[in-house]
Structure 1
Amino acid sequence: MRRMDHPAAAARNNAEWCRTMCRAHGHTTGAFGPRAWTHPVRTPPYYPDAVTLRPDASVRDVLPGIDRAAPGCSVKDSFAGLDLTADGFEVLFEARWIHRPADLPVPRPASPWQPVATPAELTAWEDAWSGGDDPMDLFPPALLADPATTVLAGRGQDGRIVAGAVLSHSDDVVGVSNLFGPDEEAWPGCLAAVAALRPGTPVVGYEHGDDLTTALRHGFTATGPLRVWLATG
Structure 2
Amino acid sequence: MAVVAADAHQRIELAALNNACWCQAVCAAHGAGGVIGRDAWLTPHPPPPFHSRLVTIAADLGRDALDARLAELSSTARSPDWTIKDSHAAFDLGPAGWDELFSADWTWREPRPDCAVLAAPVVRLMAPRDRLRWEAGWHGLDSERNAPPELPWRQFPDAVWDDPAHAFLGRLDRHGRIVAGAIANRSPGVVGLSNLFVCSGDPAQAWVELADAAAAAFPGRPLVGYERGEDLHLARAAGFEELAPLRVWRRRQADNLPAPTSPPQALPP
**Fold in common (TM above 0.5):** yes
Q: Is the 8 A contact 2:192 2:223 kept in 1?
A: yes
> Is 1:103–2:123 an aligned residue pair?
no
Q: Is the 8 A contact 1:36 1:61 kept in 2?
A: no
Aligned position for 1:83: 92
Aligned position for 1:197: 217
Q: Is the 8 A contact 2:19 2:192 kept in 1?
A: yes
Q: Which structure 1 segments of 5+ residues have no match?
A: none
For residues 1-24 of structure 1, the C-alpha deviation after alignment (integer angstroms, 9 at most, x for no partner) is 873221110000000000000111
Q: Distance in 1 between matches of 2:183 and 2:109?
A: 16
Q: Is the 8 A contact 1:79 1:225 kept in 2?
A: yes
Q: Is the 8 A contact 1:98 1:207 kept in 2?
A: yes
Alignment RMSD: 2.3
- May I ask how many residue pairs the two structures share in their alignment? 232
Residue 108 of structure 1 deviates from its aligned partner by 11
Q: Is the 8 A contact 1:113 1:153 kept in 2?
A: yes
Tell me the TM-score normalized by structure 2. Answer: 0.79
Which amino acid in 2 is paired with 1:37? Answer: W
Specify which of 246, 249, 255 is matched with residue 226 of structure 1.
246
Tell me the TM-score normalized by structure 1. Answer: 0.91
Q: Distance in 1 between matches of 2:152 and 2:234?
A: 28
Aligned position for 2:20: 15
Q: Distance in 1 between matches of 2:161 and 2:174?
A: 25
Aligned position for 1:46: 50
Q: Distance in 2 between matches of 1:108 and 1:200?
A: 11
Q: Distance in 2 between matches of 1:146 and 1:108?
A: 20
Specify which of 160, 165, 169 is matched with residue 148 of structure 1.
165
Residue 40 of structure 1 deviates from its aligned partner by 0.5
Aligned position for 2:133: 124
Give the match's secondary structure for 1:164.
strand
Q: Distance in 1 between matches of 2:219 and 2:188?
A: 13
Q: Distance in 2 between matches of 1:34 and 1:142?
A: 25
Structure with higher Rg: it is 2
> Is 1:3–2:5 an aligned residue pair?
yes
Residue 103 of structure 1 deviates from its aligned partner by 3.4
Q: Which moved more, 1:180-189 or 1:46-55?
A: 180-189
Which amino acid in 2 is paired with 1:146? Answer: D
Judging changes above 3 Å, is the alpha-carbon distance between structure 1 residues 183 and 107 closer, same or farther for their aligned structure 2 residues? farther
Specify which of 38, 41, 46 is matched with residue 37 of structure 1.
41
Residue 76 of structure 1 deviates from its aligned partner by 0.5
Specify which of 64, 69, 88 is matched with residue 62 of structure 1.
69
Q: Which moved more, 1:199-208 or 1:151-160?
A: 151-160
Q: Is the 8 A contact 1:74 1:230 kept in 2?
A: yes
Residue 72 of structure 1 deviates from its aligned partner by 3.3
**Segments ≥4 residues shifted beyond 4 Å:** 104-110
Which amino acid in 1 is paired with 2:243? Answer: T
For residues 66-110 of structure 1, the C-alpha deviation after alignment (integer angstroms, 9 at most, x for no partner) is 244524310010000122223321000000000000137549999
Which amino acid in 1 is paired with 2:161? Answer: L
Aligned position for 2:204: 184
Q: Distance in 1 between matches of 2:119 and 2:112?
A: 21
